[in-house]
Structure 1
């Protein structure tokens, strides 16, 4: 039942204004074949879609780069996978944040890569977990795509090296 102070038209408008920016993509619009699998990460709607070679698709909420200058878009691929990866800031991160440590070992609760990382063919760019779950759904990274640790662990197990990736 509607509140006496809200009309049906106002409720309808509220619903329309409250539509999520979340959207999905068809892999066929971006790749010729599924190959060993496909990942599309949409930096606007902050969602990662993963298709296995047999066409099964799953969705995951993500964190994305803080700014356009840190955002890289285009085609790449998974070239390496690491469990409990160590983390080292890039040279530009060290320049912006000289107080940051030179390296944080894997498994450390302060490690920003979380429990798993997919290394892309672009230097310094990763799809990885995060210990800081507040970052998911936000523009909060220095260039990488972040997932909840339990989600990156699932993706990690499903994604072979050679998986095609597109960041849009």
Structure 2
């Protein structure tokens, strides 16, 4: 075989091997990622998000619902009237011991939140500051925070985008700053929350 023929064969083989992946990727449409599906339908996108239904977790929408799924590392949001559904990638707690599961609600919201590490965080890392004001470089709460009725548990942004999709938090649920800003604007005080 000549050099040109080998190259042609290699490129052809590579294209042939890639074809099933390309076809699978084409199965996912915009509707797969954002469209609301029925309560019995489960969908997965390429990030392993599981499509869930709020009715499996709450009796009514109330002021709205947030379900943070620590397994698929996704946050699901439904508006109080059910017309708006959003799905966001998140960071989740580093260990199961740091993960609190159950029902809560949004009790407070803060733009430019200050951060005070808990005693347990400072014990794990004594170099942490006593407090960081909102807007300071390195503030792990990012640009917006929504506080749960559990002390020291929040849904907040992060400046460190490497954390999203990973077990990287000390108990909170983290979102990209632009996504927490979007969710913050949609979410009312009293929104029901469940961490699963």
Instruction: Provide TM-score, normalisation by structure 1.
Output: 0.90
Larger radius of gyration: 2
Aligned residue runs from structure 1 range 1-168, under 5 A: 3-4=12-13, 11=20, 20-55=47-82, 56-168=84-196
Distance 1:5 1:108 in 2: 48
Instruction: Provide TM-score, normalisation by structure 2.
Output: 0.78
Distance 1:5 1:149 in 2: 38
Change (3 A) 1:11 1:100: same
CA displacement 1:126-147 (0-9 Å, x = unmatched): 0000010110111110100000
User: If each structure's strand is expressed as a fraction of its own residues, which one has the higher value?
Assistant: 1
Aligned residues: 164
Between 1 and 2, higher relative CO (CA 8 Å, sep ≥ 6) is seen in 1
Structure 2's unaligned 5+ residue stretches are: 1-10, 25-44
Distance 1:93 1:158 in 2: 30
RMSD between aligned alpha carbons? 2.2
SS in 2 for 1:4: helix
Q: CA deviation at 1:4?
A: 3.4
Q: CA deviation at 1:21?
A: 2.3
User: If each structure's helix is expressed as a fraction of its own residues, which one has the higher value?
Assistant: 2
Give runs of ≥4 in structure 1 deviating > 2 Å.
2-8, 18-21
Change (3 A) 1:153 1:5: closer
